[in-house]
Amino acid sequence: MNFDYTPEQVELRKTVREFAQAEIAPQVMEWDEAQTFPLEVIRKIGELGYMGTIFPEELGGAGLGYIDYSIVIEELARVDPSVGLIVAAHTSLAANHIYSMGSEEQRRRYLPRLARGEWIGCWSLTEPEAGSDAAGTRSTALRQGDSWVLNGSKTFTTNAHHADVCVAMAVTDRGAAQHGISAFIIDKDTPGFRLGRKENKLGMRASATGEVIFENCRLAGSQLLGRQGEGFVDSLKVLDGGRISIAALAVGTAQGAYDEALKYSKQRKQFGRFISEFQAIQFKLADMAAGIEAARLLTYHAGWMKDRNQRVTKEAAIAKLFASEVAVRVAGEAVQILGGYGFIKDYRVEKFYRDVKLCTIGEGTSEIQRLVIARQLLK
């Protein structure tokens, strides 16, 4: 085993950290208040190569692996979790579905522009009636000659309102249950494709989450992604990789909250002493640090396996479950350490506390992660 970062990974962390401090930090609260999607910054992240970290260079990507990708998401989330979420949904859900299941032609058509951040991707699985039970998808795709005609709607799609390309799942054979759902690539200008409501959220407010609607949306046969009927099964494989990014998002968010709490504890005096001198505060900091370190190791372990093309269903679910639950606790303790100031928007922990909750919900709730893990243990 080797726990060292490569010199390139050390450099990568430094570069993303500096970028996030310079380009993201000054605007975080403004974006949050106004629910502004930070398009300009996303384009710059694309120019740096981080909208396609995990894809090969010949397809416009950075040619790196899931540990590197985790470092990128972590460092973005440490400053603004919304930016981490935008990049994660774009990369490991939308673009990776095309990269992993797409034909050579689809890869060449979509990947380079997605990987360079010239196009933004979104990935629509969830529907109003099909959340955790995603196999309960109701949107349909009917074959008509050489075309597919999609009808239905998707909810809670990250990036929907800013996406150039949407990957969506729809039922192609109701009788075939889980093997009757297919994936499609939809260009934003396709007639019959439109955006519905944009959600007003508790946290992750700079990342747009919204509805995607198909009304007799006609697609060429070539827009089918992967094999017909295998879109749901492929989605589960895509989610295995996606969950590593949500674990990294949770680690970065927790780290951001912890850093603020540590700094504050060394500046705030009560009863004539810095609050960091109270054992109650020290124990909180120790538990926070221990949780973050363990979560980071689980995340990198799942990433390390993924880079070796090993199946990570269990490991990614464990990392996502553990990291997200640790992160929720860490953000809560960070607010507690700041006392009343933790409740005030002038201090960053207030926002981490709101943002972090998404990590136990998106890409499968904690309850669903436990089901996934248990299924793997018992099979």
CB 91 within 8 A of CB 134: no
87 binds ligand FAD (CB under 6 A): no
125 binds ligand FAD (CB under 6 A): yes
DSSP string, 278-309: SHHHHHHHHHHHHHHHHHHHHHHHHHHHHHTT
Query: Which segments of 21-65 does DSSP mark as H helices, in order?
Result: 28-34, 39-48
What would the x/- binding string for ligand FAD be over residues 176 to 215, using CB under 6 A?
Answer: -------------------------x--x----x------
Q: Which residue is nearest to ligand FAD (CB)?
A: 131
35 binds ligand FAD (CB under 6 A): no
Q: Measured between alpha carbons, how far apart are the two ends of the chain, in Å?
A: 28
Among 82, 91, 96, 124, binds ligand FAD (CB under 6 A): 124
Q: Find the binding residues for ligand FAD in span 144-173 (CB under 6 A).
A: 156-158
Q: Report the alpha-carbon distance of residue 53 to residue 90 in Å, rounded.
A: 11
Among 92, 251, 363, 372, binds ligand FAD (CB under 6 A): 363
CB 249 within 8 A of CB 256: no
89 binds ligand FAD (CB under 6 A): yes
Q: Which is nearer to ligand FAD, 197 or 308 (CB)?
A: 197
Among 111, 334, 364, 372, binds ligand FAD (CB under 6 A): 364
Q: Which are the contacts of 24, defined by CB distance < 8 A and separation ≥ 6?
A: 38, 41, 76, 79, 80, 83
30 binds ligand FAD (CB under 6 A): no
Q: What is the DSSP letter of 4?
A: P
Q: Which is nearer to ligand FAD, 106 or 124 (CB)?
A: 124
Task: Please identify every residue annotated as catalytic.
Answer: 363
Counts for the chain of helices (H) and strands (E), in that order: 12, 10
State the residues that interact with ligand FAD by CB under 6 A. 89, 123-126, 131-132, 156-158, 201, 204, 209, 358, 361-365, 367-368, 371
